Structure 1
Amino acid sequence: MKLLRDNWDSTDPTPLPSDLGDGFVAYAGPDSLETRPYFSVARFRCGKEKPWISIDLETVAQGRDPVKDITDLLRVARTRYGRLHDCTPKPL
């Protein structure tokens, strides 16, 4: 996670809410060489495992809050992970 933060530090990443675990949402900007400048990663605990989920987007509809939308998507993905792997997702 430190390496990810170091690589995305110049984008002023937004930390995730603590209930999602460890992670952030970042925007690399319109001049980014990345094809998907909206990037997020979350690491959490599920049973004995410590999985991580990454979501990146190319665009966000005008008027939408990308941080909120991506955070909501991470929440859904984490919950679904718990159902698929028969564990209860918790923060690290």
Structure 2
Amino acid sequence: MTRALDPVRDEQLHGGFRPVRCGACTTTVLVRRSSPQQTSIQWPASAACPALLDRDASGTPVVHCASVMAAIGAAARRGDV
């Protein structure tokens, strides 16, 4: 049984997110900036970001995409997020 979220809690978890598209692979993530120091990013389950499939020199999976971060930074400078 799925429990309905309290409307205030639902807003905290999902409100204020804006779509931002990666300039490299066109994956779209949802972004919310609560402050200049805090940015929340929601990756869709269907994200096909090639950078996240890579591994670093030690074989550790990459968990950061510079292209998405650049797109988020540009959106923030424009005031879109």
TM-score by length of 1: 0.30
TM-score by length of 2: 0.33
Higher strand share: 1
When Rg is computed on C-alpha atoms for both structures, the one with the higher figure is 2
